[in-house]
Chains A and B, each alone.
Chain A
Amino acid sequence: MNTISESSRARLDSLMKIGIGVGVLGAIGVGLGLAQNVEGNKLQFLQSYLYAYLFWLGLSLGSLAFAILHYLTGGRWGVRLERILQSGMGTLPLMLLLFLPIWMNMQELYPWSRPGAMDSALMHKKVFWLNAGGWTTRIFVYFGIWLACAWFLTSRAKKKDVTGDQNADSGVRFLAGPMIILHVLAVTFAVIDWAMSLEPEWFSTMYGVIFVAGQGISTLAFAVLICAWLRKDEQFGKLFSSAHFHDLGTLMFAFSMFWTYTSFSQYLIIWSGNIAEETPWYLHRTGHGWQNVAIALVVLGWFLPFLLLMQRKIKKQAHLLVGVAVIVLVARHFDLYWQIGPAFHHDGFHGPHWMDLAMPFAIGGFWVALFAWLMKARPITNNQVEMIHAEAHAAHH
């Protein structure tokens, strides 16, 4: 099976069209919200944009992380995700382009970039990192690392497809260790630059890993949705078996625990230390209405996935696991919204703005369209995958 079947091509074609449609509708929605009052809503536009951007960037980066990770660990879970992950990381050039509005409005978003903001003794010590030149340079460093890794992985996989040489990607296996370290470092520093520095006085060393975990679980949830959808095609019905969903469900469970563990640890340490440089971040996020978002996040991000993914019968059935995946994706939005929103609204939470709701669709529509277009370009499985599947099938009787 070295070519993509007509029916799956048609499926991906329709996914692409749906993506573009949703993207255009979302953009119109955002445009209407902005048009009401361009000057007054500009800051709202930017913060909605930042949180939605970080959500979708998370799927691109999570795809890259899992693809590298699979070279390190191997395992059945990743074999059938290969193309999904490669198409996910293929959206990185789009995400670089979409970073433009954030870069152009640096001063609106990031207090440290405004004149005079770094004059205090404490902030003065951070100037070496938080300055416009360094921040701009680092955008290219981060994306350079990600794009290079993604290009390396994808080009070797393509070579493997074309030549049929199963050792075509041995170089990737050799470099996967250094790549995953570089990737996690890049994500850590990127979210420090793009999200943590919204409140430049505050700092947390746990911050980056919370994002890594969040990107991980949202990528798995997205993969579950795509697998469940591809599975409706007869060609893939057998490929995406209940054992495959069980694997993904178990990984989702682990990443949900990981995210909860890191998020709570950051809170517990700052709560215990109780020092004035650190606590305001949580005080803003657990009061004035933001506590409701926090509680919803605990329920959606930890409690429900923990309780549901504990059960094997849910993990084994695609349609049930899809439900959990949707909860996880909604929770990821709550997480980013709760991390970013209060930086602009110390006065309290007054309900989401219209653009907060439309923006994830505006960016996501185009992200999904590009994803589907990349999926369509190459076979979803290769011969090796088929072979492994045949073996697994025999072993499972």
Chain B
Amino acid sequence: MSSPQANAAPIYGYLAEFDDKDALFACAKAARARGLTEIEAYTPTPLHGLPEILGYKNYVPHMVFMGGLIGVLTGFGLCYWVSVLEYPLNIGGKPFNSWQAFVVPTFETMILFASLTAVFGMIILNGLPQPYHPVFNVEKFARCSSDRFFFIVLSRDPKFDLNETRRFLAEQKALSVDEVPH
């Protein structure tokens, strides 16, 4: 397997395998305590509190808020443009700019834009679609979707060291530690 870009480290990272989530939590905490930053965890179920330990920042909520705000402006703008500027109709003698009637479409476009932003924001921030990922080079990684927890230290971490990092992971309660080729 060859990396698209030249990389100083000969491998992608070290992958540690756990059969217990508590050991994974302990490993993640120890890694953070050592100052490792380029770390990731793969688990069969969502684990509360793990992203915080890994130092993961979730930007989806902010994106959804902005999406909703754009939805509000779009929805109200559309109603206003149609009813006041482009095609004013006298409906029951009410004013052209009847904001009361615009509230429902505005609300719906807010929901639409916010939920689309949530879905696509999540996909984009996850780096999807991604046809190739190095972790699958380790065969046992397949069990990640059933009964194993994995923890990886990426070689691009400034504190990554071929020997030192491997020794650190071996000290954890890992079932195995594997090299992940690029």
> Considering the complex, which residues of chain A in the window 243-274 have a beta carbon less than 8 Å from any beta carbon of chain B?
264, 267-268, 271-272, 274
| Interface range for A | 10 to 19
| Interface residue from A267, A310, A312, A395 paired with B100 (Cβ < 8 Å) | A267
Neighbouring A residues of B22 by C-beta, 8 Å: 397
Neighbouring A residues of B61 by C-beta, 8 Å: 312
CB distance B65 to A310 under 8 Å?
yes
CB distance A268 to B103 under 8 Å?
yes
| Interface residue from B47, B92, B103 paired with A274 (Cβ < 8 Å) | B92
* Cα–Cα distance between A28 and B21 once the two chains are bound (Å): 61
- Is B49 interfacial (CB 8 A cutoff)? yes
Neighbouring A residues of B1 by C-beta, 8 Å: none
How many positions in chain B have a CB within 8 Å of any CB in the partner chain? 14
> Considering the complex, which residues of chain B in the window 111-126 have a beta carbon less than 8 Å from any beta carbon of chain A?
none
- Is B104 interfacial (CB 8 A cutoff)? yes
Neighbouring B residues of A272 by C-beta, 8 Å: 92, 100-101
Neighbouring A residues of B141 by C-beta, 8 Å: none
- Is A350 interfacial (CB 8 A cutoff)? no
Neighbouring A residues of B100 by C-beta, 8 Å: 267-268, 271-272
- Taking the closest CB of chain B, its distance from the CB of A303, in whole angstroms, is 13
Q: Which residue of B lies closest to A265 (CB)?
A: B104
* Cα–Cα distance between A271 and B101 once the two chains are bound (Å): 9
Neighbouring B residues of A264 by C-beta, 8 Å: 103
- Is B160 interfacial (CB 8 A cutoff)? no
- Is B42 interfacial (CB 8 A cutoff)? no
> Considering the complex, which residues of chain A in the window 339-397 have a beta carbon less than 8 Å from any beta carbon of chain B?
395-397
> Considering the complex, which residues of chain B in the window 45-68 have a beta carbon less than 8 Å from any beta carbon of chain A?
47-49, 61, 65
Neighbouring B residues of A271 by C-beta, 8 Å: 100
| Interface residue from B49, B94, B103 paired with A397 (Cβ < 8 Å) | B49
* Cα–Cα distance between A310 and B61 once the two chains are bound (Å): 9
CB distance B104 to A397 under 8 Å?
no
CB distance A396 to B48 under 8 Å?
yes
- Is B25 interfacial (CB 8 A cutoff)? yes
Neighbouring A residues of B94 by C-beta, 8 Å: 274
* Cα–Cα distance between A380 and B160 once the two chains are bound (Å): 51
* Cα–Cα distance between A41 and B119 once the two chains are bound (Å): 59
- Taking the closest CB of chain A, its distance from the CB of B175, in whole angstroms, is 20
Neighbouring A residues of B104 by C-beta, 8 Å: 268
> Considering the complex, which residues of chain A in the window 265-297 have a beta carbon less than 8 Å from any beta carbon of chain B?
267-268, 271-272, 274
CB distance A396 to B49 under 8 Å?
yes
When A274-B92, A310-B65, A312-B61 are in contact, do A397 and B48 touch as well, CB less than 8 Å? yes
* Cα–Cα distance between A312 and B57 once the two chains are bound (Å): 13
- Taking the closest CB of chain B, its distance from the CB of A177, in whole angstroms, is 30
Neighbouring A residues of B92 by C-beta, 8 Å: 272, 274
> Considering the complex, which residues of chain B in the window 73-101 have a beta carbon less than 8 Å from any beta carbon of chain A?
92, 94, 100-101
CB distance B25 to A397 under 8 Å?
yes
Neighbouring A residues of B101 by C-beta, 8 Å: 268, 272
7 nearest A-B pairs in the assembled complex, by CB-CB distance? A271-B100, A396-B48, A268-B100, A397-B25, A397-B49, A274-B92, A396-B49
**Interfacial residues, chain B to chain A (CB-CB below 8 A):** 21-22, 25, 47-49, 61, 65, 92, 94, 100-101, 103-104
Can you list 23 residue pairs at the A/B interface with Cβ under 8 Å?
A264-B103, A267-B100, A268-B100, A268-B101, A268-B103, A268-B104, A271-B100, A272-B92, A272-B100, A272-B101, A274-B92, A274-B94, A310-B65, A312-B61, A395-B48, A396-B48, A396-B49, A397-B21, A397-B22, A397-B25, A397-B47, A397-B48, A397-B49
**Interfacial residues, chain A to chain B (CB-CB below 8 A):** 264, 267-268, 271-272, 274, 310, 312, 395-397
